[in-house]
Structure 1
Amino acid sequence: MSTSPYSSKPKGGFLARRRATLLASALALGVAGTLGVQALTTGATPAYAQSSAIAPQAAPALPSFADVADRVRPAVVSVRVKTEATGPLAMGPGGPGGPGGPGAPGQRGPGGIPGLDQLPDDHPLKRFFKQFGQGDEQQQRRNPRRFGMSQGSGFFISGDGYVVTNNHVVANAKEVELVRDDAKTTLKAKVVGTDPRTDVALLKVEGDRKDWPYVSFADNKQTRIGDWVIAVGNPFGLGGTVTAGIVSARGRDIGAGPYDDFLQIDAAVNHGNSGGPTFNLRGEVVGVNTAIYSPSGGNVGVAFSIPAEIVTDVVAKLKDVGVVERGYIGVQIQPVTDEIAESLGLKTAQGALVAEAQSGTPGEKAGLKSGDVIQKVNGETVAEARDLSRKIASFNPGTKVELTYWRDGKELKTDLTLGKLPEQQQASLNSGDDESESDAGGANVKLGIQVTPASRVAGSGDKGLVVTGVDDDGQAAGKLEQGDVILEVGGREVTSAKDVTASLDAAQKSGKRSVLLRVKRNDATRFVPVEIGRG
């Protein structure tokens, strides 16, 4: 017969059994505590952990940037620039005085302060702003000069005090101060010269000191995608900041200028890093930080540096004469696409296509014509249109160069003496009037366009055909626009819609899948490839 443990009554009863259980637990804890102390004091692993213990291993050799940072930081400076502001005082939305937020100019109420004119003349707030010139247009006219401050970074490149930074950091500078890495030494500097096309500027510290710590430029032929780099600079005015990353791309064209050839890095670069150096692990400058890609305005790991080879060339010219003079051919060029290459009989889409040789320029005098493809400069291959611009710009005016080019299925050569690149001119926009019909006008079904002679449209010149309509479903859709002037089709000048049709028919009969249209738009001439299919 079974009995319930609660119904039986052994000696000592329930309380005695409870005491025995607690005593046994206390003894077990005591033993475990003793083992734990022993494990801590002797290094022994508790029995329960022996089967799952992870043995420590030697730490892998990770890269450290401390040594190179220590070496180069004394040569890096923060650049503080005092600039003179122009135009009316900007105000934050609904705020009294002060600038509006970046990218969003402040709004301005009557008298400079929203609602200020509604306050009585003896109101303390109105008297305060009038006292300091806010809301008083006459006071602002009496004191038109106002100054602002901007910040960036830079670095010494010589012991006698030459410093490199960005052009956009010191643009319109009235005063320039350099703050060294110790944040204690402030130096006065002057702008020696700037080059807006590459965004490089050269400064010189005032005084005769010859032993400033400086850094050297790298040979970027040895810089590879994936190499470690560090950026040193003055982000957000903090100064002396070091970030690390890798070279994530080379030869980037971001549309900043005609000579774009940026290194892309993923080291953190922010506002204030502009003009600061990017170093390799040998402490050599591989680039000058100049731009970031950022939808939010902050670092997203995509930054761009001007390569060392471009900076050294520009700095040498700024140091010698204070300006950069570049060689000049005098031709409008464009990239060679697969369609263009096929149309011209080229095996590869390589080189720079001459859209127009401007009258009186070295290129025109050397015999270059629209439709030529420049393939080499002094025997060096021209990869694409921007490559030609960079190569020619690297020469001084007056330099003789040999150009290799493609024309009518043959490779030809010519020698020319480079001219001086003129100041960039703004292309004027010629807006055509409504089309004027003539017997030479009409439609071309194959391209899906309407044309009329240029001589009939004010401001379009006297050569070619003005595009007056483009069919959204036609072959020229997305390639031609209303107002474009078609000068040639397939290398033939056109003066009527019939000429266009005849040129297209000839191209099809020769087995071409596309034809080149020489088109003028906004005073710039270029070639436009349009597919026509085989005949």
Structure 2
Amino acid sequence: MIRFNLKALSACVLSAAMAVTASTVLLPLTPALAQVRALPDFTDLVEQVGPSVVNIRTLEKVSRRASPGGQMDPDMLEFFRRFGLPIPNMPNGPRQSPPPGHGQQPNQEDQPRGVGSGFILTPDGMIMTNAHVVEGADEVIVTLTDKREFKAKIIGADKRSDVAVVKIEATGLPAVKVGDVNRLRVGEWVMAIGSPFGLENSVTAGIVSAKQRDTGDYLPFIQTDVAINPGNSGGPLINMRGEVVGINSQIYSRSGGSMGISFSIPMDEAVRVSEQLRATGRVTRGRIGVQIEQVTKEVAESIGLGQPYGALVRGVETGGPADKAGVEAGDVIIKFDGKRVEKSSDLPRMVGGTKPGVRSPLTVFRRGASKDLTVTIAEIEADKTAAQTTEKEPKVAESKMAQALGLDVSDLTDAAKKELKIKGGVQVKASSDAAARGGLREGDVIVAVANVAVSNVAGFEKILSGLDKTKPVNILFRRGEWAQYTMLRFNS
């Protein structure tokens, strides 16, 4: 007969139940606790980096007799300037007669121009900010977190990158640590400190939304959802290691306030610019003298490039570096200095970062084949306007196949060939149907069809005759000095 100790058995069952209960309760809590611990705490970062962030106020000397904006609030003035709005006239603004001995010269006074941010680069007073923060300022006032104020000297400003360096006479300042932008990851927490609407040392935080964001500017931007407003411009974007990885520069906004899309200049690019500004007060960039545009999927497939990459050359500056190297309008630049050109906006950055005078290898894709060239980099200068030419009336030659594309074309004059630096082609006299829809218009010059160079109207007719009329055909044409591709379908 088996006897059970009910008291002991009950204790065992209770212990087992508690163990099961404990395990079922505790196991799910472990990940939750880990998530709570992983949430960012920015307090130490603010204490670490906060003293390195400065407030920047700019002043301009204006006539008291005709003071733009009158007695408008400085923050409102900054709003109008930052977003390109005209400053309204204030009829009740201050007026004062000229003092004796000054004739008709009006009195001048320092008027607030704008508010921005910056951060200390070196302990001896070098400060980085945005170029648009100090642009047009007659006086720059820097305020530290300990409330000390200094008049700053503008060392240099670069509009293309929107980077500026100013200097204050002080020593022993808390400089920032510069981070490695290459280590920055999408989704990573970041923090901004600045003076939105003049509210000094305001801290906001968010995550990196994207890297290498192309907004049409010279540099690729870091996109974040950190709250950035007017006055934050020039302030630092800081990672969780307390390192500055960017300069807050722009926002996307329909209202003038933060909408969760802000852009920062990558710090590696900003440092390169600042080094030149500190050394010479200006930035030297390379150029090769081409106008470019993006290569579309349709164009890439039609010319045999396969993948849409590279930079399509629309025009070549006469006598410029690219022209001397043999680059032609209609070429696709696929490599520069041995590096693949993924998109057209990559090329200006690659060339711009190359020292003038350097000979760099260049690979172009031309009429179905790659061609290696060497270009000598020149120093960047103001864009030139393409020269306009008056051409003699060319002799008209009829092309029936051209009419199937909606085109009326004629042979080029020798003068036109010489001006465009081409050996052949046909000029568009009129366009309709498919040609008009494809963007061709009177005066355009067709230089290649389906990757085959066009010599004259007869050659144009022969090329078209041999094509599959059920498929679209790529057309390379010139408009003045600029070239581009289009796709046309034969009229049914």
Change (3 A) 1:129 1:289: closer
Asked if 1:318 corresponds to 2:277, the answer is yes
**Structure 1 equivalent of residue 488 of structure 2:** 531
**Contact 1:356-1:369 within 8 A present in 2 as well:** yes
Amino acid at match of 1:224: R
**Unpaired runs of at least 5, structure 1:** 1-54, 93-97, 114-127
Q: TM-score w.r.t. structure 2 length?
A: 0.77
Change (3 A) 1:273 1:497: farther
**Structure 1 equivalent of residue 437 of structure 2:** 477
Distance (whole Å) between structure 2 residues aligned to residue 399 and residue 406 of structure 1: 22
**Structure 2 equivalent of residue 376 of structure 1:** 335
Distance (whole Å) between structure 1 residues aligned to residue 45 and residue 273 of structure 2: 26
Change (3 A) 1:99 1:376: closer
Largest Rg, 1 or 2:
1
**Structure 2 equivalent of residue 290 of structure 1:** 249
Change (3 A) 1:437 1:392: closer
**Structure 1 equivalent of residue 52 of structure 2:** 75
* Identical counterparts, % of pairs: 35
Amino acid at match of 2:195: N
Q: Deviations over 1:26-56 (max 9, x none)?
A: xxxxxxxxxxxxxxxxxxxxxxxxxxxxx9x
SS in 1 for 2:437: coil
**Unpaired runs of at least 5, structure 2:** 1-28, 71-75
Q: Displacement of 1:399 after TM fit?
A: 1.9
Distance (whole Å) between structure 1 residues aligned to residue 198 and residue 42 of structure 2: 22
Asked if 1:407 corresponds to 2:366, the answer is yes
**Structure 1 equivalent of residue 154 of structure 2:** 191
Distance (whole Å) between structure 1 residues aligned to residue 365 and residue 435 of structure 2: 27
Asked if 1:304 corresponds to 2:263, the answer is yes
**Contact 2:405-2:491 within 8 A present in 1 as well:** no
SS in 2 for 1:78: strand
**Structure 2 equivalent of residue 205 of structure 1:** 168
Q: Displacement of 1:220 after TM fit?
A: 1.2
Alignment root-mean-square deviation, CA: 4.1
Change (3 A) 1:408 1:489: closer
Distance (whole Å) between structure 2 residues aligned to residue 251 and residue 233 of structure 1: 23
Change (3 A) 1:468 1:145: farther
Aligned length: 441
Pick which of 407-416 and 218-227 moved more: 407-416
SS in 2 for 1:263: strand
What does residue range 169-184 of structure 1 map to in structure 2 within 5 Å? 169-182=133-146, 184=147
Q: Displacement of 1:487 after TM fit?
A: 4.8
Q: Displacement of 1:428 after TM fit?
A: 6.5
Q: Deviations over 1:409-446 (max 9, x none)?
A: 33332333311112234x3796999x989735999544
Amino acid at match of 2:486: P
**Structure 1 equivalent of residue 191 of structure 2:** 230
**Structure 1 equivalent of residue 322 of structure 2:** 363
Distance (whole Å) between structure 2 residues aligned to residue 309 and residue 129 of structure 1: 45
Change (3 A) 1:149 1:341: same
Q: Displacement of 1:164 after TM fit?
A: 0.8
Change (3 A) 1:107 1:217: closer
Q: Deviations over 1:270-296 (max 9, x none)?
A: 000111110111111111111111011
Q: Displacement of 1:262 after TM fit?
A: 0.7
Q: Deviations over 1:418-477 (max 9, x none)?
A: 11112234x3796999x989735999544445667898xx9xx78977767654x53542
Q: Displacement of 1:512 after TM fit?
A: 6.4
Distance (whole Å) between structure 2 residues aligned to residue 91 and residue 176 of structure 1: 20
Distance (whole Å) between structure 2 residues aligned to residue 100 and residue 181 of structure 1: 22
SS in 1 for 2:36: coil
Q: Displacement of 1:499 after TM fit?
A: 6.7
Q: Displacement of 1:129 after TM fit?
A: 7.5
**Contact 1:84-1:148 within 8 A present in 2 as well:** no
What does residue range 263-274 of structure 1 map to in structure 2 within 5 Å? 263-274=222-233
**Structure 2 equivalent of residue 24 of structure 1:** none
Asked if 1:242 corresponds to 2:203, the answer is yes
Amino acid at match of 2:168: V
Distance (whole Å) between structure 2 residues aligned to residue 85 and residue 446 of structure 1: 65
Q: TM-score w.r.t. structure 1 length?
A: 0.71
Amino acid at match of 1:439: V
Q: Which has the higher contact order (CA 8 A, sep 6+)?
A: 2
